[in-house]
Every structure is written in C-alpha cells, then in structure tokens.
Structure 1
Amino acid sequence: MAHTKSPHRAMMFVVAMLLLSIAAWTGAAQPSPAEQQQPALLHLEIRDAIGPATSSFFLRALERAQERNVRLVVLEMDTPGGLDSAMREMIQAILASPVPVVIYISPSGARAASAGTYLLYASHVAAMAPATNLGAATPVEIGGPSEPKKDQPRDAQKPEQPDNASERKAVNDAVSLIRGLAELRDRNADWGEAAVRQAVSLTARAALEQKVIDVVATDLQDLLSQLEGRKIKTRYGVVQLATKDLVREEFRADWRTKLLSIVTNPNVAYLLMLVGVYGLLLEGYNPGSFAPGVAGAVCLLLALYAFQILSVNYAGLALIALGIALIVAEAFAPSFGALGVGGVVAFTIGSIMLFDGQVPGFRIARGLIGGVAVTAAIGMLLTAGMFMRSRRARVATGVEQMLQEHAVALEDFDSAGRVDIRGEIWRAVTRTPVKKGARLKVLRVDGLTLEVAPGEQ
C-alpha cells in the first residue's frame, strides 16, 4: 500500500508544480484585468542614429501598443539622422498605426536632424522641448556630395540644385515625401521642402510659429496636459485624446536590440572585421590551434552582417582588403618595407572611405582609424626588423650549424676516433694526431662522419 501511494503522490506533486508554473508564467506574461481596463500610455526613447536596430525596436513598440490597446504612444527622440531605409520603415508604421503616435524631441539640447525631421512630420503629434532644433534634412549619398562647380554663378533667391542626376533624384524624392507628410498632417510643406533642398533648421519656438510642429512642452507631464482633449486624425478615424490619469508603461530595448545596435555600430563593425581577418591569418600561420580561427570566423561573419545593413563604401572595403594583403605579403617577400608601407597607406585610406562619412551617426572615429594604422605600421616594422635580424643570426640547425660548432675528443687517435659534439658521440677522422680531451674544429660533415682538426685550446 505504501508502495502504491508514493508514485501517486509524486505524480500529483509534479502536476501541481506544472500547474503552478503555468499559472505563474501566464500571470507574468499577461497583464492583470485591472491593468487591461485602465488606460495606458506607452513610452519609449530613441537616443541614437536611426538604423535597423532602432527601426525594429520602434516597430515592436507599435505592435505592443496595439496588442495592449494602448491609448497613446509617446516617442522621446534625440537623433542626428540615419539611414533612409530604416526611416521609411518607421514612417510606414506610423502612418498605418491605429494608435496615435506622439514624437517629442527632448530633453533641451536634443535635435531631430535629417531622418528625425521626416519622422516628426509623419507623427500624429509633433512636439519639441525648449532649446531643441530640427531640420537639415538633405539626403546624402554614399561617398559624399559632389563638389559644386566653382565657375557657375548661383542665384540666392533660388534653392540650391544638386549637380548630378542621382543627387537630383534623391533630393526630389525626399521633397515629395516630406511634402506628402506635411499635407497629411496639415503642417508647413514649404519649410519642409526648404529643409530638404537647403538644409535649413529651426528652433522649437520658430517651428511652432511656422506650423512645423504642434506643441512646445517643457517635459512629458506638460506635454500630456497640453494634449488633453486634442482631436487626432488617424488612418481609422478621428480620435480625441484623453491624457489624464493614463498609466505610463515603459517600453525598453531588449537584449536583441542592444546587441544589434552594438554590432551595427560602424566602429564595432570595423573592429570585428579586423579581428576576423587577423584571426584567420593566425590560424593559417598556426594550423590546429583552432581558437584564432573560430574567433576570427565568428567576428568576420558578424562584420559581414553589419556591412549588409550599413552604408558601406565598397571601394573602401576593397582598399582595406588590398592593404591587409600587402602587409601579409611583406612578411614573405623581401621588399624591405615597400609592400608594408603601401599596405598601411591603402589600409588607412580604405578605413576612411569604408563608411559614408556624410551620413549622421554612421561614421568611424578618426582616432580609431589612426590607432589601427599606427599599430599596423609598428607591427610591420617589427616584423621587418625580426626578419633582418634572422638573416644576420647564426644558423641554428642542419649541417651548416655543425660547421660552426666545436667537438671534444673522447680518446687518443691518429686518423679515426670518437668525439663528443652537442652531447652526441660521432665518428671523426683527422689528418693530425689528436689527444683525448682536445678541442676540435669541424671542417666537413660526410654522412655520419666528421672531419676535424685541432682548434683553439
């Protein structure tokens, strides 16, 4: 009887633990009924350049807002700009959102430059804190803008026009986008076009006076109080905001977003590429060590992933590859530094060109490039110095090395006998009689026989 009860008790205990675990998991994953019934505000922050990581983070926030029936989404933003593809994904999500989206440029001293200006125009409510600014929304192509023609006069009354067809296409496309957003949100379309064509900027107060934004608020609480009762036109109809007594819910970046932000940082992607290349090189020099090869392969794959979603100048990437190849070739070819110096120069120029220096927030720090270039140059010089010293050093192995050694006679002999050299006993022949313990010089090696002669005592 005792044997039959214990399995049942164990089974009941396991089932009870499973039920408790499921209840705890569902309770943690699902909000309480009181929380579901109470109106909520979803608050998130973006304090960096607009890229794939920020776009994914923002889209997941809007999905969360729809799942939780949130009344309002407030995005506090401070951005220097970013990538066009990520910006357009965020704009499409805002335009399709049934939940009103408020973009608030905060705190004081923050900005909504370049891509941030387009996002501000797309938002249902555009707000700024005092002492903030927006504008400078001219699109920039990879490789930087072309040089203006110095001999062509410009009319100060007309907006500055790009010099080549590709830039004109990009600018006209951006103008169409920002004017369309301005017409949809009833904002100043002419100023938006000037921000694109002439890269003009505005302060918060000036933007409010020119109907570029809707609200100037000192903080989030002031913003919510000013939005009370305001009617917002969404894709699904007009919504009247009721911002009093809203429960503030924070939406923070998860580990995936943080990891993606780190990997796609141009400085980190650049270092990952270097670690990957040098790791594979070390594995090639020392086959079977595995650790450098594995680390190099992982870092190189992460770098290639980052390059697919960053504004990469492939000419710069090719110059970096050429520079690394020349530096490696210096270790095998006796060029006395010519290949190494050329490799360092190509590596440095390619590093400067690697990421588009004109896209805000996606630049490689010049100090990092200089440090890597100096380190590569020092490594190349040290390698060249080691090879020069090795050429002047004594031979350490083989027959040539034995010709520089001295043997000690183990017995008296006139023509043939035994000698000790480097702790080994060899057969030796001589033309001069030798006494036991005499120091002998090796003249020639013939198979396993040494020809010796009396040396210095």
Structure 2
Amino acid sequence: MKRFQRVISFLLVAMLLAGLGVTFTPVSEASQSAAARINIVRIADVINPVVARFIIDEIDRTNREGMRAFLLEIDTPGGLDTSMREIIQGILNSPAPVIVYVSPKGARAASAGALITLAADFAAMAPGTNIGASTPVALGGGGGEQDQAMMEKVLQDAVAYARSLAEQRGRNQEWAERIVREGLSSQASEALELQVIDLIAEDEADLLVQLDGRRYLRAGQALVLETRGAELVRAEMNWRQRILTAISNPNVAYLLLMLGFLGIFFELSNPGAIVPGAIGAIALLLAFFGLQTLPVNYVGVLLLLLAIVLFMLEIYVSSYGMLTVGGILSLALGSLMLIDTADPTLQISRAVIFATVLVCAGFFIIVIYFVTRTQRRPAYSGAEGLVGERGTAQSAIAPEGRVFVHGELWTARSAEPIDAGEVVEVIAMIPGMKLEVRRVDRSQDAQARS
C-alpha cells in the first residue's frame, strides 16, 4: 500500500513539474518573440492630431510589449507644429530606439517631417528621396511691424528647436538651422554626406541589415540595436482613425462645411423636411472636428455665415437678385479666407473652392427661384384658397344664410340680399369661420365657365 502511495505521489509531482514546464515555456517563448519584433508604422499623409495620436500610441505599445525598436516609414509634406512636437516628444522619451525611414523612392520628409527625422535615434532615407524645407509659415500676417516681430520670434524658436534636436542626436546643427531659416532641402546622398542621416537603404531588408549592431544612447548608457532576423510587425490605423484622418483633410472639412450649410438652409427654407436638416447638422459637426485641427480664420467663417443669411433674406425680401449676388461674393471670399496659413499642405484647393462655390451658388439660385415663385402663387388651400371660389346659395342670405362652396356647406354673409339657388363668389373669410360673399350674375358665371 505504501509502495502504491509512493508511486502515486511520484506521478503527482511529475505531473506538477510537467504542468509548470508547460506553463512557463510559452511565456518564455512569447517574451523572446516579442523581443525579436520591430513595430513598423507607415505614414503617407499630412501630420495632424490624429496621425500624431496614432504614432504615439504605437510607440507606447512598442515599449509596453518589449519590442526591439519602433520603425516609422514616412512620406509627408509637413503638417501642424503642435502635432509634430507631440510626436517628437514621444520619440525622445521612448526607451525603445526609434528609427525613421524616409521611403519609398520619391518620398519626402518636408517641414515637420524633417524635424521628426532629426529626432530619431536612427535616420535613414531611400534613394531618390529628399528632406528639409522646415521654414515656419506666416499665419495670416498682414505685413505690419507686429506681424514681422511675431514671425521673427516664431523663426528663432524653430531654429533653436531644430538645432537642439540635431545636437541631441549628434547630427549637423548648421544644416538643421538652414532648413528653418532658408528653407533648404537636401537629397538623400547629400543628407548622408552632411551627417544629417545615418544611412541610405534600398528597402526594409537592407535597412535592417545596415542597422544591426549600431549603438544608441539611453540615460547615458550605450546600447546595441539588434535587427538581424527581427520580425516586422505592421500596425495600421483602425476604421475610426482613418475616418478622422480623412475628415482632417482641409478639402474634406471644407466640403462637409458646405454640405452642412446647404442642409440647414434647405431645412430653414422648407421647415419639416427633417432629412436635409439632420444631414446638415451631422456634416457641420464633422466639419467642425476637421477644422479644429486646422488654422481657421474666423472672419472666413463669418463670411460664410453671412452668405447663408443673405440667401435666406432673398426669399423674403424683393432685392431683384442683389442679395443673391452679395451672398455669392461672401461665399467665395469666405472660402478663400477660411484657412489662415500660407502652408500649401493645409490650404483648401482653389479648384475645390471654385467648383464648390459654383455648385452652391447654382443650388441657392434654383432653390430661391422656386421658393419665391411658390410664394407668389395664389393660395390653393386653406382659408386663403377659398377667396375667389364660386358656389351656390343653399338658402336666402339676408344678411346671413347657407352656401355650398368647394364641396362644403358654409355660413355666409352678404351686404346685399341673395336668393336661394343664386351663384355666389367668396370675397373673404370673416371671424367665426364665416364667408363673405357677393352675388354673381348668371351671364358672368356662364362666361367664366366658358
């Protein structure tokens, strides 16, 4: 019995050890697998708040899951300064090394993209790419002394920021200053020669081979990056982020704003339609989200609102088209002034503005024409619709009696006596749901019928 118990005990211990082995082995493999991965994100868009949030989240995930590095493939014309600084803060504070790779061939890292590349632990470019042109643009400056003084402060701040990033990563500070002051842009081979980037790679495989064994600093300690054999894990934006990124496009935000105005205008001019009002409200909210990521000139917004007011007034005021002309001019000027920046990547396309203003103006003119024509028509229903209708006196009217008009019996009053059976015509509706009528000669009635 004791021997049997020892056997059972041995088997239980063996099973427990085996269970522990099974439990710990996958964790160890998972840890090694995570360490052998590199998180890769590709951005081929303007740098905006949605893109910045996505990149920062992926940098955090890289560190949270213990991946070897974060690789950002970039092709951008630039973007918002605030979004750029958020990304750079995420890069500078990342324990895991950050690699910025300007690719594919023909791509660029302009403006904000150039400074993001400077901030990376390892900067690489594909052949046929360029980097630079980071001069801050004026935000609606009028050319006065105050505007010039403000732009000088912005310029000095950008220069200091660029030099600081280059100094921290051991890159060419003079070049960093020139891309801000002079708008300098360099091709890949020149950037490598000037020690702006660390290497030129044909593709991702070549990039990983060249990066393997390179050193980087963390808290004053030199560490070695191991990329050979690492698995590239690609991270993509989810559907929500893609929608928000699309809405943040200046052209899309502008079109949504115009759609919202059209919907609200149609709802106000035809109360009770509901669907245009609902679509217009949704479009306006989406447009406001997109515009909050852009440097908006509120004078432009006010001009657009003025255009809607002028179009509405045209319905109720006889201006012989002058209010419509004013509305079209206000719409065009407001569209041109809406985005307050000289940065072409953040401006609304002139072709989009021209086409939108043309379509909106045509829409407003057609709607106003039909609404005005409808308002000027004689009434066909209700109390006003009875005026001018003819009927028959069902009883003598002296001064009141009963008449049959428009398929209904009414109490009527007349200033002159009317015998039963005579033809009457409604002059007006009087208080008490009564009609005021007059006698119609049968000859006149027959002539009207013919």
Rounded Cα–Cα distance in structure 1 between residues aligned with 2:326 and 2:254: 20
Q: TM-score, normalised by structure 1?
A: 0.79
Extract unaligned runs of 5+ from structure 1.
1-26, 150-161
The one-letter code of the counterpart of 1:320 is: L
Extract unaligned runs of 5+ from structure 2.
1-22
- 1:10 aligns with none
Counterpart mapping for 1:440-451 below 5 A: 440=423, 442=425, 444=427, 447-448=434-435, 450-451=437-438
Rounded Cα–Cα distance in structure 2 between residues aligned with 1:356 and 1:134: 25
Distance 1:148 1:202, change over 3 A: farther
Aligned residues: 413
Is 2:117 aligned against 1:120? Answer: yes
- 2:148 aligns with 164
Counterpart mapping for 1:5-404 below 5 A: 33-38=28-33, 39-143=36-140, 164-235=148-219, 237-281=221-265, 284=268, 291-390=275-374, 393-397=377-381, 401-404=385-388
Rounded Cα–Cα distance in structure 1 between residues aligned with 2:323 and 2:345: 34
Q: Tell me the secondary structure at the aligned position of residue 396 of structure 1.
A: coil
Residue-by-residue CA offset, 1:213-253 (whole Å, 9 max, x unaligned): 11111101111111122222234522222221112211222
CA contact (8 A) 2:163 2:173 kept: yes
Rounded Cα–Cα distance in structure 1 between residues aligned with 2:225 and 2:351: 49
- 1:453 aligns with 440
Distance 1:116 1:431, change over 3 A: closer
Shift of 1:398: 6.3
Rounded Cα–Cα distance in structure 2 between residues aligned with 1:294 and 1:236: 58
The one-letter code of the counterpart of 1:242 is: E
The one-letter code of the counterpart of 2:184 is: V
Residue-by-residue CA offset, 1:409-428 (whole Å, 9 max, x unaligned): 77999999976432234568
Distance 1:384 1:253, change over 3 A: closer
Distance 1:288 1:451, change over 3 A: closer
Rounded Cα–Cα distance in structure 2 between residues aligned with 1:64 and 1:392: 66
The one-letter code of the counterpart of 2:439 is: V
Distance 1:443 1:146, change over 3 A: closer
Distance 1:360 1:226, change over 3 A: farther
Shift of 1:181: 1.4
Distance 1:271 1:203, change over 3 A: same
Residue-by-residue CA offset, 1:248-278 (whole Å, 9 max, x unaligned): 2112222342232123222332233344445
Distance 1:329 1:53, change over 3 A: same
Shift of 1:453: 2.0
Distance 1:124 1:451, change over 3 A: same
The one-letter code of the counterpart of 2:425 is: V
- 2:20 aligns with none
**RMSD of the alignment, in Å?**
3.4
The one-letter code of the counterpart of 1:197 is: R
Distance 1:181 1:449, change over 3 A: closer
- 2:19 aligns with none
- Greater length-normalized contact order (CA 8 Å, ≥ 6 residues apart): 1
The one-letter code of the counterpart of 2:302 is: A
Rounded Cα–Cα distance in structure 2 between residues aligned with 1:146 and 1:264: 26
Q: TM-score, normalised by structure 2?
A: 0.81
Shift of 1:139: 0.6
Q: Tell me the secondary structure at the aligned position of residue 361 of structure 1.
A: helix
The one-letter code of the counterpart of 1:375 is: V
Rounded Cα–Cα distance in structure 2 between residues aligned with 1:374 and 1:137: 35
Shift of 1:296: 4.2
